[in-house]
Structure formats: C-alpha cells, structure tokens
Structure 1
Amino acid sequence: MKNFKNIIDMKILEKIILLFIGVFVFTSCEEFEEFNENPNEPTDVSPSVLMPSAIRQSVNTMVNESFLLGNNIAQLTSKTLRTEADTYNWNAFPTFWEGLYGSLTDVKGVETEAIEAGNEQQEAAAIVLKSWIFANLTNAYGDIPYSEAITGDDNNLTPAYDTQESIYNDILAELDRASDLLANGSGSIEGDILYSGDATKWQKLANSLRLRLLMTAGDKISNAESQFSNIVSSGNIFTSNDDNAVLDYLNTFPNEFPLIPLKTGDFDAVAISETSLTVMETYGDPRLSRYARPDNDDYNNPEFSGAVSGAGSCGKSGSRLGAAYYNDGAQTLASDLGIGNANGIIMTYSEVEFLLAEAAAKGWINDDIETHYRAGIEASMAYYQVNYTPFGYNDFNDYYTNSGVAYSTATDIWEQKWLSLYFTGMEPFFEVRRWYVESGNSFNGIPFLDAPCDNLNNDNLPVRFRYPGQEQSLNSENYNEAVDRLGGSNDINASIWLVE
C-alpha cells in the first residue's frame, strides 16, 4: 500500500512539475520576446524622424559628389590631387551609388507610413524626393534597379534593372501624381527640413523637376514639348528664389555643410578651374568672389588663378573654393562677407528660368528668350548675394548692359546656365553631356569648353559611370542583362538611352 501511495504521489508531483514548467516556458517566451524588443529601435518609425534623415542624407551625398565629381567633370572646378574625374579615368564611384540607394530606404519608409496613415501630402513629398534621387541615379548609370529596388521585401536582394526609358516615363508620371496630391490631397508634411511643410513649394518642386527631366530627355520623350508647355501654363513652377529647393545647414556637427569638417588638404584638393575663371573674368562676373576665394584674400581688390582641368602635369595651382564652402580662421569667413555657409542645392529658380529660356529658343513655349535668360542670371546673382562694386558695376542692370553677357545666341544660355549650376549636385555634368551630344558628340559646339588636358578618353566626354563591382558579384544575373543592353561592356562610353 505504501509503495502504491508513493507511486501516486510521484505521478501527482510529476504533473505539478510539468504544469509548472509549461507555465514557466510560456511565460518566459513572452517575456523573452518582450525583452528582445528594443525600445530604442521601434519597428514603426514616424515620418517626422525618417523625413529629415532622408532629405539630409541624399542632399549630403549630392554635395559631396558635386565637390568630387560634378563640378570637376563640368570643368567649373578642377582637381589638384587625385585627378581621375578630370582625366576621365573613371571607376564606378560607389559612394554615389551607395549614398543615394541608402537614403532611399528612409524615403520608402516615409512613403509607406504615409500611405498607411492616409496622409496624401506626406506621400507626395516622399514621391518627389524619391523621384529626384532615382533621376540622379539613372542619369549617371543608365539602366538601374528601380521598380524592385526599394519594395520593402527584405528577401529580394537581387532587384532587376529597369530600362532608363521606362524609369524616365515612370518618374514623370509619379511627379505628375505627386503634384496633384500636393494640390488636392489631405494631410500634412511632417519632418520637412526643406520647406517646413509647405505643400505648395513641394508642388512647385515636383513640376520644376519635370521641366528638368523633359529638357534632359528632349525628343526621347514623344510628347516632351507639349508636356513642358502644359506644366509652364499651369504656373505651378518656381517663380522666385523663395521657391529654391536648398537645404539650410546648421553651424554645428553633424548638421553642417558637408565640406566644413574636411581636413585642409582634402578641401584644397579642388580649386576653381581655369576654364570657369576665364569665362567669369571675361564678364567681370561678381559670382567669382563667391565661387572662389581671392588668392590675396582681398575682396575689394580680388586676384584669382585657375587650375587646369586634366592631369596633374597640366598646371594644378588655382584659387581655393569660396569662403562659404570652408571655414579657415586665418582667412575671411563667410560671415565676414555678410553671407552664410553654403546650402545643399537640389534645384533653383535660376535653373528654371534657363530651362524656360532654352524652351523658348527651341520653340517649345511662346515666350521671349532674353527675358528668361536675363532672369536666370539675375536670380543666380541674387542667390549668391554678390557684391558688384569690386568688379566695376553698380548693380545688376549695369552688369547686364555693360559686361558683354547680354543675350545673343542659344549657346549663351548654355554658358550662363553652366555657371549657375555650381554645386548643384551632378547637374553640371548631366547638362554638359546633353550639350555635348546635341553638338554632335563633340566639344566643338560648346564654345566655353574644351576636352581636359591629357585626358585618357581620346578627348571624348564619357557618358556614364560604371556599375559598382559588387553588383557583378551580388546581383550577377540582372547586372549581366543590363550590361548586355549596353552592348556587352560596363564602360564609360557605352551608349545609354539618353545619348542614343
């Protein structure tokens, strides 16, 4: 009996122990899951957090790449060290690819959260930012991962490469949709460090970017002329410098202009070019004292020198870039000149006026060419808060009338637009490439430019960047298909849709 009772007691005890273990395991699993939820890394991040990051990261990337690539390829500035950009000894420029694709993660997060919340204006602002970023990527490389690139599917590590033509058409359609949402949609724009939530300004940016893309593609878009004209007729484009899409930086790290923290040697690896200096000195262009620092650091009687674009053996001594781009306590600061440090530029009213001038010259719109041309120059001067006096002029009217800059031929628009695009991301290169193609794939039709000294591409302007090497190893099937469409070579001279 005793043994039987002990057996029953043991069975009861086992059941109690198993029940206790089950409760413990169930409770522990719940607690473990809760423990693993990091309160500092929430799964859902609001647009008020993601939007500033998306804007800042993408604009910072473009500022850095304008300093290293865009300005130098277009010969606005010149490299004094590591002259690969100038000499056309181009690689994949992976920081451009990685920086922009990295920022698209936050942009997609903003767009997704906005859609889930039914916030149409937030969604539209994200679409505008996304479109600008993708436009830069496809303009630089050609076919790129687009429709599958930021779908939110973590398992898709090998996105397909969309054709440049399809990307352009989709971006134009998306910007049109964004413009409508910004005009008529519900909600508000949170975390907006570009326009402080002003939907009207975002709408103007959407439409102004459409003008840029239509001009870039030209007759590659079958109805480019009518699209352009209809956008202009709507009136919802940049109409003053108040509309400029420029990021105002703070005066403290990490939210300051990206070049400010550079070591002196790294900043001085770029100087004003002899090419742009020659053009600006011809007219006595007062922007020169903003784009470059006088060698004598005397802004009342400035003296400048220009570095030759090309190899290091070609004369690489030139004036430093302007005071707004770097703080040197031993020299005049931007604040001493009554101006602030430089902005991060997405697009300006000046560029829009030059787009309108060129559209008028092409017959796309029935406007006076010189009116828009003159307005483009004046807007650029006003944006840079120039001082006319040291250059021998009283004001803009005096400058325009007496400097020799007054409109004469269509290439004048190119020249003045080229100067105005200083530090506007990669646009200086994209525009020079367009003019080069329109001039018969030759520098001969661009009066203010020549092939860089001792370049490595037979005096031919390269038309694209190479795809990063990691794409070949990590996304080989789609990479190979894209390269096949280029003619079988991931080459800087391989023909992309824009230049075919």
Structure 2
Amino acid sequence: MNLKNKLYIVLGAVVLLSSSACESFLDVNENPNNPEDAPISGLLTNSTYETSLNVQRIASTSSFYVQYLASPNPASGADVMDPLDFSGTWFSLYNVMTDINEIIRKAEESGANHYLGAGQILMALNLGMTVDIFGDVPFSQSFNFETVTPAYDDDQELYQRILQLLDEGIANLQGETSISMGGDDFIYGGNVANWIKFGHTLKARFLMHTKGTPTYNANEVLTAVANGFQSNEDDAAVVFFEQRFNPWAQVAINNENLLLGGWISEQFVQALDGTSYPTVDPRLPLMIGTTDDGEFVGTVNGEGRGDAPEQGARSTLIPGQFYTSTTSPLLIATYAELKFIEAEAALPTDPARAYAAYLAGIEAHMDMLGVSDEAKTAYLADESVSVGAGAMTLDIIMKEKWVAMFLHPETWNDARRFDYGYKDMTLPENLNPNLNGNYIRRLAYPDSEVSRNGNNVPSVTLLDRIWWNQ
C-alpha cells in the first residue's frame, strides 16, 4: 500500500471520528475532541490536512481582494468587497485549533516533544491567519471549555503569542522525543528538520507583517530567513490524491461544467501579458487558461463578464495546471515567498542582497511551475526585470512576490501593508459604497459569532485596520 493511500485511510478515520464527536468550542461547553477517542497521531493527520484547507478557504475570498480572481457576475459580494458571512471559515479555523490544542496537551503529558513542536507551529499559523483577517479574536479562553462566550484577546498581544509559539515549537523539535512523527504528518511525513525550517520561515513571515510598527526589526527577519527554507524542496505543502481533489482543481472542473468560478482578474492578466509591464511573463500560460480563441482575457473586478455569454470568452482557472491538477499541492509556505521576504527586509541596508534574493524568488517560482530554462533565462535577463541592485525598489519586489504567491492568502497581508500599491491596480467597479472609495482592510466578524457571543464581539467596520496595518 503506497503512502498516499495510507494517509487517505488514516485521514478518513479521523474525519469520521471528528464529524461524530466534534463541535465548535462556541457551540458546547465540553471538550469536543473526546481525547480518549482521538490519538495524537490521528489529530496530527487531521490538523496538517485541515490547515492546508484553511489556507485555501481564506484564499478563496482574498484572491478577489488582491485581483487574482474576478467574478463573472456583476457586483458579486467578494468582488466588490461587501461584508460577507465567514461563519464557515471561522468554524474551520477554530475547529483545527481545538484539535491542535489537544495535540499540545497530549504531547506535553507524554513527552512527545516533536508532536508538541509541530503542534505549536500549527497553532501559530492558524492563530496568525485568524488574527490577520479578523483582528481581535478569542484565544486565551477558547479551549478550556468553561465558557461558551469567550473574551476577545487583543490582536497585538496575540501576535506576541504567535511568535512565542513559533520559538517554543522550534525548540521542542530540536529536543528529544518519546514518540516520533511519521506518515501521520501530511506536510513533511515526519521530517523534523523541515519542520524546524518551516517554523523559522513562518517567523520571518509574521515578523514582516510588523514592518510598519515600532516593534519591527529587519535583522530579526533576516535571522529567521537564514534558518528557514533553503530550496523549493523545503516548501510546506499538502499533496492531494485521487480520492480527494485539490480544491482549486475542483473550482476549475466546476467551471468547465458551467458552475462558474475561478475567473481571472483583468489586473492579473495585464500584469503578465505585456500590458502593465514591458515583458510577457512565461508563467502566464502555466497558471491560467486562454479563451477559445487562444487569448488571455481577464474579467474586470466588480463588472462581471459584461457581454461575454460564453465561458470561453474569458480566462479562467483550468484543470490540469500546476495549481489546478487534482493531485496538485496546496502551498502553505514556500522558498519563493521567503526569498521575497528577504529582499524586502534587506532592501534598506543591503540592496545587493535584496536584489539577489529577488532574483532567486522569481527563479524559485519559475522552477516550481516548470518554466523552461530558455524562457526563464530570457525573462530574468529582460531589462525591466534585471534592473540591478542600484535600481531595486520595493515596488519591483512586491510585484514579483504578488505573481509568485498566486492564490495564496498571504498576498492580502502584503496588499494591505503595501496600501494596495501594485501598478495599475484599481478599485473594483460597483465597490461597496460603505468603503467610501477605499480598499477593504479586514473581514467582518461572522454572523454566528455575533449571534452567540455578541456581547464580546468588537464593533468594527471593514475599514478598521489590523494592529500591524495602522
């Protein structure tokens, strides 16, 4: 029996167990995981798998905000940045954090330090994603099952906890352990060295979010970078298998069957087809599809497809490409991302290092997609790309990172930090009027949370900024 089938069987058992025993911590006043029935290995399987899906769940909306995707329907809610109900996303984030909390508890009791370290890194990631989209959220009272109306913790204080969890996780992975991880780990198959690099990479990511705050220290970011991923082989990802499709593949398949989704924003097409920038990017045909006439044509955000009655009249995600094959990996963190983090952190004091990291980030993403050596060399040599250290700017770094982070929610964090300053990016048509001509800055708290825990839910608007984006 191959590894994928083994993982599928384990996952199926855990999902069945979870579906029969698991409720959101806000729904009941008892431990939803029933730890007697959930072994630590099964919890890790479910947590690594569901963490990758949480990345995609957030990206399924944030990809409209950063204009990777656009809706074929005019004034579609995500497209025009309306307040939407994210109860499902909220539940998914807290459901996996509840399981991770059990991993941490069980690992501490049994001396399973590698499980403990992996659990702490997964907790930091899921908590960080939750804070980055909602701001203040419940955490300190969320997993003791003593209240169904937990208090909300300050988002800046939670960031300190996120970084602490990463440091603790790295330290525990470097120690001895009573139980070793293996095939129950969907991300690395129990490779502890990669988990340590993953922890450092996430630390660089979360530290970079604080760039506009007094706590930011570029040297701390660069230290984390040095201990993070060293190549594409280190990427944190969950690879899907025939019994369970990559969710972006399902979007592409659905679109072929006229269940419309995965249409590509005009902004993204024009950034790569030679319209907004001088050179045509060879990655474009490896990332999205053409119209029936073999052309790349995007959809204007908020405007919909207009007079295009046929699917083939606009570019969409199509089955079988790097991001949309049924067995494609869901990328959680990548070496390419880390190189762009390094470029941004180094730029003010060491432009030569920043430039080298910028070029390495482009090359890493091209290698990931399978761009030919000839096309890669030509692109990297183009004068609009090969600008030299002396002409290196943040705009150039962020543009290439935006391309390399296609369909990843981290781009929305970048966009907010960058004040949506990508070249030729414009507000969507039919923008939510309550935004007063501004881009969205956070998600609305879910309706389910307002109804069950309304006295604690902060009063915010979509324009109120997360602490690191003030």
**TM-score under structure 2 normalisation?**
0.83
Which amino acid letter does the alignment assign opposite residue 460 of structure 2? Answer: N
Is 1:308 matched up with 2:293?
A: no
Native 8 Å contact 1:241 1:349 kept in 2: yes
Distance 1:313 1:379, change over 3 A: closer
Structure 1 residue 466 corresponds to structure 2 residue 444: yes
**Correspondent of 2:413 among 426, 430, 455:** 430
Q: Does 1:144 align with 2:151?
A: no
Quick check: 1:452–1:459 contact (8 Å CA) kept in 2? no
Q: What is the identity, as a one-letter code, of the residue corresponding to 2:157?
A: S
Pairing 1:183-262 to 2, within 5 Å after superposition: 183-186=174-177, 187-190=179-182, 191-220=184-213, 222-232=215-225, 235-252=226-243, 255-261=244-250
TM-fit CA distance, 1:224: 2.6
Distance 2:381 2:129 in 1: 36
Find out whether 1:411 has 2:395 as its counterpart. yes
Tell me which of 60, 70, 77 is aligned to 2:62. Answer: 70
Aligned counterparts of 1:398 and 1:326: Cα–Cα separation in 2: 21
Query: Is the contact between residue 305 and residue 314 of structure 2 (CA under 8 Å) also seen in structure 1?
Result: no
2:165 aligns to what SS in structure 1? helix
Is 2:35–2:102's contact at 8 Å kept on the other side of the alignment? no
Deviation of residue 247 (structure 1)? 0.7
Alignment match of 1:279 (pick from 266, 271, 275): 271
Please identify, of 77-86 and 155-164, the stretch whose mean Cα deviation from structure 2 is larger.
Answer: 77-86
| Residues 1:448 and 1:469: Cα distance change in structure 2 (over 3 Å) | same
Please tell me the root mean square deviation across aligned C-alpha atoms, in Å.
2.5
* Amino acid aligned to 1:356: E
Given the two structures, how large is their TM-score scaled by the length of structure 1? Answer: 0.78
Whether 2:67 is the aligned partner of 1:87: answer no
Judge conservation of contact 2:282–2:376 (CA < 8 Å) in 1. Answer: no
| Offset of residue 467 of structure 1 | 0.7
Aligned length: 418
Q: Deviations over 1:225-245 (max 9, x none)?
A: 34223324xx32011000101
Q: What CA distance in whole angstroms lies between the structure 2 residues aligned with 1:358 and 1:188?
A: 37
Alpha-carbon separation, structure 1, partners of 2:296 and 2:261: 17
Q: Which moved more, 1:365-374 or 1:47-56?
A: 365-374
Q: 1:46 to 1:360 in 2, by over 3 A?
A: same
Deviation of 1:108 (Å):
1.6
Deviation at 1:211, TM superposition (A): 0.7
**1:74/1:428 contact within 8 Å kept:** yes
Q: How far apart in 1 are the matches of 2:87 and 2:320?
A: 27
Task: Report Cα offsets for 1:434-480 as digits up to 9, x if no partner.
Answer: 100xxxxxx5x43241112231233311111011122222223322x
User: Relative to structure 1, is the Cα distance of residues 434 and 155 closer, same or farther in structure 2, using a 3 angstrom cutoff?
Assistant: same
Whichever residue aligns with residue 460 of structure 1, its letter is N
Q: Does 1:343 align with 2:323?
A: no
- Judge which range, 176-185 or 110-119, deviates more: 176-185
Displacement after TM superposition at 1:50 (Å): 1.1
Does residue 1:321 correspond to 2:321, yes or no?
no
When residues 361 and 266 of structure 1 are mapped into structure 2, their CA distance, relative to the original with a 3 A threshold, is: farther
Aligned equivalent of 2:425 = 449
- Candidates 284, 294, 299, aligned match of 1:288: 284
Indicate the structure (1 or 2) with the bigger Cα radius of gyration. 1
Alignment of 1:173-188 (within 5 A): 173-186=164-177, 187-188=179-180
CA distance in 2, matches of 1:326, 1:182: 31
1:427 Cα offset (Å): 1.1
| 3-state SS of 2:456 partner | helix
Distance, in Å, in 2 between the alignment partners of 1:53 and 1:433 is: 31
**Match for residue 117 of structure 1 among 110, 117, 128:** 110
Q: Find the counterpart in structure 1 of residue 18 from structure 2.
A: none
Secondary structure of the residue aligned to 2:237 is strand
Q: Percent identity?
A: 26
Give the Å deviation of 1:56: 1.5
Deviation at 1:185, TM superposition (A): 3.8
SS of aligned partner of 2:70:
strand
Where 1:77 maps in the other structure, the secondary structure is: coil
SS of residue paired to 2:442: coil
Q: Give the number of the structure whose residues are more often helix, by fraction.
A: 1
Alignment partner, residue 365 of structure 2? 380
Structure 2 stretches of 5 or more lacking a match?
1-20, 22-33
State the distance in 2 between where 1:46 and 1:448 align.
51
> Per the alignment, in what secondary structure is the counterpart of residue 75 of structure 1?
coil
The change in CA–CA distance for 1:230 and 1:261 in structure 2 (over 3 A counts) is closer
| AA partner of residue 250 (structure 1) | F
1:371 equivalent to 2:349? Answer no
Verify the 8 A CA contact 1:80 1:270 in the aligned structure 2: no
Distance 1:396 1:208, change over 3 A: same
**Aligned AA for 2:401?**
K
